[in-house]
Each structure stands twice: as structure tokens, then as C-alpha cells.
Amino acid sequence: MTQPPLQAVLFDMDGTLVDTERLWWEAVQDIATELGRPLAEADQPEVLGRPVEHTADWLAGLTGARDLAARLHEEFAERVRTGIVPRPGALALLDALARDGVPTALVTASPRAVADSVLAVLGADRFRVSVTADDTPATKPDPDPYLAACRALGVDPARCVAVEDTPTGVTSAEAAGCAVLAVPSLAPIAPAPGRTVVPSLAEVTPGRLRDLVRPRLRVLSWNLWYGGTKVDDHRAKQLKVILDTEADVVGLQETAGTAARELAEALGWYHHEAGENLGVISRHPITAGLGDPDVGFYGAAGARISVDGLREVDVWTAHLHYTPYGPYEAAFDGLPPAELIAHEGVRLGQMREALRWIAESGGAERPVILTGDFNCPSHLDRPDVDWPVTRAAEEAGLRDSYREAHPDPVLAPGHTWSPIHPVHEENPARPEPQDRIDYVLHNGHGLDVIDARTVVTGVPRPWPDVAGNDWPSDHAAVLTTFALTPPE
């Protein structure tokens, strides 16, 4: 796949380019000690990477002292004037980027007065843009500073690398959509998808920064619910969801025969339809339809998608039978795990058939993504039941993108059934079991999960008063962002 160009590199200042993080910590430590409350390691999140005003308010809350911001400014500025030292490799990297014509920006939570003092040492001409705490309504960890720098440079955050040294700064840059190179100074930073951690800028080159800006593919799995026809003006609402999520590919279920074609034509996209219920639409060209074109209402179908003309990804969509529905049998009938598993036979057979098609079509190394409404919970969500459908997919080498991004099912249940059914449709006295039954799975070949989330527009009114809902479905959708590794 063609690598998108590295459009800019956005540098944090304190602790990243110059060794001011230590100076800032020492300044706060001296004043805190004077006030009878010396700093400890646990205080780092309130000090490192934070604007002066935040730390001043925090310290005031602990000590009762007033007007601390001015004292902290003065103490820190004096240290900057007398003790500023560029971090190892910082000036060499800035100069190398300049030789390669890559724009750079300074993005700091420090005030303008401090930033200008540092720029005088580093050389203000090394930066096309500088953004300080004085220049945006909110500063780090909010994304505003990085977004402001990208706007000023006229660049796409997704094609920029932010270089940071604190968890607070990393949060800001990632929220803005930048790839991140972390060079921890005082506080540790763990690697994560879209984030690379190195011990020093001395080992960083423009080429390495270019490698961090990887192509991304956003995949949406969506059950349209009778094509969306239960909701007024459903087609316009469907189009808005697809555009708002910035999806590149959508695996559709319950298309009512024509939804895939009609959505693709309205978007100017490509599409593949199979049977009466399944479809894949893509902003990238579809080079082949996969699976049985006469699959019927339940089953799976796929499309081979050419991304940037050099890399192909197989994207499948599956819709498995809805009955018997395990969560009902567990909640309403009290069936034990063995019986719940035994009743998954129809769906398990459909999943195995889908996995057979996928294996026969894809080859050993081709990237594969399987979207779908499986109509069953995941074995990753309910440890008391080893739900066999998702287990079969896992044993076939498919990973659950949502659980990769959100490993804890208690903290992030990711329910997709159902945003319009808080109570059971046939018996309102019974709360409706809320479960994660829609998925985006992948085989990990050249695919790294950057983010995964559920999608629902607005606050849908419950069934049956749904015609005016902004959200034209009875399922939540699932949106996963993948980073794609270029082919060898």
C-alpha cells in the first residue's frame, strides 16, 4: 500500500525538546515544600504536562495558599533563563526534518512568555507554527492545541506525528488523531496502537517518523433493520451516519435487497450485494465478490477491496439466525451453560460455513475483516458461558477488534442490542437483556486496531415510538479503525 506522506511533525516542548520538565518539577517542588506539602511521585499527573494554572489550582486546593500561578511562573521562568538544555538528539532531528522539507510546530502547555524564551534558545526559525497555553480555549490533555497547530499548518492530523514526553501530552495528541512518538522524561508511557515509545530522540530520524504515519481503514458493521424502513427518512439518516463516522467500508446486514446499491450510488462508492440481506459498500474499489451470491437471508458474503491500488483486503459481512436467542434463554428461562451452548447449533453451523468460505477465498496472508450481526454474545464477555460461535471464529484465527481496544467487558460492555429495546417487546415487565452481538473481527495480517467503538446517533426513543428517531436501526453499529501495514 502507498504510504501517505508525513505532512508535519508536532513537538511538545517541556521535557521533549528541552529539559524543562525537570525544571518545572523542581519549581513546583520548591514552592510546595515551602507550603508544607512536598511533592511525591503520585503527584506527577497534576504537575507534568499541565499548564501552570492547573497545577496552581491543584496546589492551592491542598495548601490553601493563594496567587500561586504568578509564583510558579516566576520560579519556572528563572530556571528556564539559567538552566535550559536541549534534549539529546532534538536539534539534530529538527535540522534533519528541515532538510527534508517537513514542517514542524511547537505545541506546549506552557504560556507564551515561557515558550518564547525556549524558542530563543532552540531557534524560532526551526518552527513554522507555535501553539501555547495562551492560544487555545483548552490545553492538554484536550486535543485543542494539536488541532490548532494542524489548522495553522493546513495539514491532516492523521498524517502528522506528535512527539511527546508525558501521558497528558500523549492523550492530547491521540485525541486529535495524530500518531504519537513518546519519549518519556519523568513519567513512564506504555506503548499502544498508534503509539511508539523510544528512550531518546537521538535514535529518531525523519524516515522513522514517516513509518509511523500508516494508512488507516475504518470499517463499520451495521444491521440496517429491514433496510431502515421502520424510521422516517431512513436513507438520508443512514447516509449521515456513514459520512459522520468517516467509514471507508461498511458491512451491511438486513439490506432489504437494495440498500447496499442505493447507499453506494448516493455516496459515489462501490458495492457488492449477495442474496436478499447482505452487502458491502466501500469508498475503495471492489475487485471481486466473495462467497455464495445466492446466500439467502442468513449466512455470509464478502468483497475484495483494493486500497490505494496496491493492497487488497477481504471484507465479509455475516448475519446469523436470531433464534433461539441465548440471552433470552439465560435471563428468562434460566437455562444452564451446557444447554445454552447446545442451542447455538444453527448459528455455529452458519459461522463455520462462513469461515470455510473465508479460508478458501483469502489465502494464508491476505488481510481479512469479518463484520456482522451474529445474534449471540461473545465468550469474551460472559465467562460463565463459552459461547461457541465467537469461539469458533477465534479458533479460526479471527480477533475481536472491540475487545482488543476495550479488554474489560465490565468497564466497556459495548452493547449493540438494543438501543431501542430497554424492555422486552412482548412483555414490558421484563427488562431486555443488553448484549454485544455485533462484531468487527480480523485476522491480524497487516491489520492493527487503533480504535473501536459502538455508534448510535442521538438518544433513540424506545419501541414502538421509533419513526422519528435519528438512529434508523434497532442495533448499535460497531466502528473499528485499523492501521494497515504496507506490503513487503
Catalytic residues: 12, 14
Report angle CA 399, 449, 212 to the nearest 5 degrees.
Answer: 140
Contact 477, 436 (CB under 8 A): no
- Compute the distance between CA of residue 277 and CA of residue 65 in angstroms, rounded to an integer: 66
- Compute the distance between CA of residue 324 and CA of residue 78 in angstroms, rounded to an integer: 72
Cell of 37: 506539602
Contact 9, 161 (CB under 8 A): yes
469-478: b (≥16 Cβ within 10 Å) or e: bebbbbbbbb
Residue 441: beta bridge partners?
370, 400
Contact 195, 484 (CB under 8 A): no
Cell of 26: 523542581
Matching residue, cell 473481527:
441
Task: State the burial class of residue 459 (Cβ atoms within 10 Å of its Cβ: 0-12, 13-18, 19+).
Answer: exposed
Cell of 15: 521535557
